[in-house]
Amino acid sequence: MPTEIRHLLFTPEEVTTALRNYCNRGGRPFPSHVKGYVIEGGPAQPSVTITATASDGRDTSLSFGGEKLVAPLLLFCNGKKIPLPLRGTKELTILNQLLTLVVKLA
């Protein structure tokens, strides 16, 4: 049986929006003024570090990786009406210097 593989590439703005919405939905603080966005960890284990200015004026950084990064992207897709299969395996990687969600259906 063939395997279907879907790649969803996210811009830094989309990832930031996804993380902000996820944190706000869970009652966790997320800075309103984001200064920087860096993908770290390489293609096999990517993570995102966001630098921002906190409400008290100090610079702060937030790191997201693994499930803490997959879940916000899935909710972002759901909010944008991007259909994703429930039973597909979901992994993160980096393609064209963009955070990418890879969904595999066997």
Name the more confident of 57 and 10. 10
Q: Amino acid identity, residue 77?
A: C
Name the more confident of 106 and 103. 103
C-alpha distances out from residue 76 to 30, 87, 96, Å: 16, 18, 20
pLDDT digits (tens, 9 = 90+) for 18-32: 999 999 998 888 887
Which pLDDT belongs to residue 29? Answer: 83
CA-CA distance, 32 to 25, in Å (whole number)? 15
pLDDT digits (tens, 9 = 90+) for 37-96: 999 988 788 999 999 887 778 888 999 998 899 999 999 999 999 999 888 899 999 999
For the entire predicted model, the pTM comes to: 0.89
Over the chain, what HEC string results? CCCEEEEEEECHHHHHHHHHHHHHHCCCCCCCEEEEEEEECCCCCCEEEEEEECCCCCEEEEEEECHHHHHHHHHHHHHCCCCCCCCCEEEEEEECCEEEEEEEEC
